[in-house]
Amino acid sequence: MRSNRRGIIAALVIVTITVAIAIIASHMTSQTPPDLPSPPMKTLAARHNIELGNFAISTYLDVPAYSQILSSQYNLALIDNTPNWYFTDGGLRPGPTTYNFATMDKVVSYAADHHMRTQAHHLVWGEDKWLPGWLKNGHLTSSQILAAMHDHISTVVGHYKGKVDELTVVNEAFTRGQHLYGLHDWWADNTGGMGYIDQAFIWAHQADPNAKLILNDFDNEHFNSISDAMYQYIKSAKARGVPIDGIGMQMHIDGTHPPDKNEVIQNMRRFGALGVGVYVTEFDVNMSAVPASDKARDNMAANIYYEMMRACIESGSCHSFSNLGITDKESWYNYMGPSMADARPLMFDANYRPKPAFFAFRNALSQN
């Protein structure tokens, strides 16, 4: 009996050591930066006067493979989530009179150390789950809410004056204003309409006259009610002297219905004709609903990456093209439920290996 017990214990020890070695090996593999072709993508993009951006996630900046890809291939660091009033780390605005800049400061410092420009997402976003309880449950009047917004924009933009180059000032006001997918715009619902958008841009410009100010939304890369409403708003706002520098197109592409390249080009050009730049702010391709093998889906996604980068280049109006994540393991789709578990949306797999999308994207940048 004792002999059997010793044998079982010995076997368990061997299994434990084997698993531990496998975990360590896997971790080491995931930390190994890939050998990517030269010149880097950002150099190719610069020939088209386009900046390449990616999500600079604060908790990944110390991971060698992540940092090497981010700093070598991209020259625009996206500060996403951390500018939200509330987020999982407590947020930028935990109290009516308190701010927590620690996480955002880390990303801004990283960008400066690696000679990257910065784009911050988002000053004002009508998704109420990213708003603090003291604001949305405080029974504030419309004027008090606008005063809180004014203070927030002035303080945050002022704190990063000269350090953050581009700001998505207002996010998803038009999709939410049209209740796309049942969404609502908390700000419009609680301040009496969309007049707050003008004020947000005016206050941001006052706080930093040199920052580029972007009106951001999704499902606006082609011609539809969202892009039409944004076009009319920007046209009238520019006539009123509202300081809007660009339109942000999130471009979370559904792999089952990718947009037509020529339509995207024409849409980008019509916004460019208004005197604003076009910024692709959060690009990824959701392949979860595409009924095909992993290899086939990766190749289809690669074609979408190629077509949309070519649209950006050929439009002549597109200033930057940014992805919302480097590897599939960082994607926001991972938090969207089981149906999105295999979205495969980004250019690198979970072990930092480049996928077909990387080479197709690079090919699009290599051409004239």
Question: How confident is the model over 358-368, as a mean pLDDT?
Answer: 98
Identify whether residues 168 and 219 lie together within a single domain: yes
Is residue 172 part of the annotated active site? The answer reads: yes
Confidence band of 81 (pLDDT split at 50, 70, 90):
confident
Identify whether residues 155 and 252 lie together within a single domain: yes
Identify whether residues 27 and 169 lie together within a single domain: no
Confidence band of 158 (pLDDT split at 50, 70, 90):
very high
Helices (H) then strands (E): counts for the chain: 13, 9
Question: How confident is the model over 114-123, as a mean pLDDT?
Answer: 97
Identify whether residues 250 and 143 lie together within a single domain: yes
- CA–CA dist 288, 174 (Å, integer): 26
Question: How confident is the model over 148-173, as a mean pLDDT?
Answer: 98
Token look-up 């072990």 returns 351
* Nearest partner of 126 among 72, 178, 167, judged by Cα: 178
Number of compact structural domains in the chain: 2
Identify whether residues 92 and 232 lie together within a single domain: yes
Residue 27 has pLDDT above 70, yes or no: no
φ, ψ of residue 249 to 5 degrees: the values are -110, 110
Which position among 166, 221, 282, 307 bears the catalytic label?
Answer: 282
Identify whether residues 317 and 347 lie together within a single domain: yes
Residue 21 has pLDDT above 90, yes or no: no
Q: What are the start-end ranges of the H helices in the chain?
A: 2-31, 41-46, 64-73, 102-113, 133-136, 142-159, 173-177, 186-191, 196-207, 225-239, 261-272, 294-315, 356-366
Identify whether residues 16 and 131 lie together within a single domain: no
pLDDT in tens, 194-242: 999 999 999 999 999 999 999 999 999 999 999 999 999 999 999 999 9
For the chain, what is the mean pLDDT? 91
Identify whether residues 115 and 145 lie together within a single domain: yes
- CA–CA dist 91, 83 (Å, integer): 7
Output the pLDDT for position 339. 85
Identify whether residues 266 and 312 lie together within a single domain: yes
Confidence band of 349 (pLDDT split at 50, 70, 90):
very high
Range of the domain at 7: 1-31
Residue 89 has pLDDT above 70, yes or no: no
* Nearest partner of 118 among 65, 159, 63, 174, judged by Cα: 159
- Does the CA dihedral 349-312-233-212 come out positive or negative? positive
Which position among 51, 166, 172, 221 bears the catalytic label?
Answer: 172
Is residue 127 part of the annotated active site? The answer reads: no
CB 13: neighbour CB atoms within 10 A? 10
Output the pLDDT for position 69. 98
Neighbour-count burial of 88, counting CB atoms closer than 10 A to its CB (0-12 exposed, 13-18 middle, 19+ buried): exposed
Output the pLDDT for position 32. 80
Range of 30-34, 84-88, 274-278 with top mean pLDDT: 274-278
Identify whether residues 79 and 15 lie together within a single domain: no
pLDDT in tens, 47-76: 999 999 999 999 999 999 999 999 999 999
- CA–CA dist 91, 132 (Å, integer): 8
Identify whether residues 79 and 158 lie together within a single domain: yes
The angle at the Cα of 143, spanning 139 to 147, to the nearest 5 degrees, equals 100
Confidence band of 124 (pLDDT split at 50, 70, 90):
very high
Domain of residue 296, CATH code: 3.20.20.80
CB 351: neighbour CB atoms within 10 A? 15
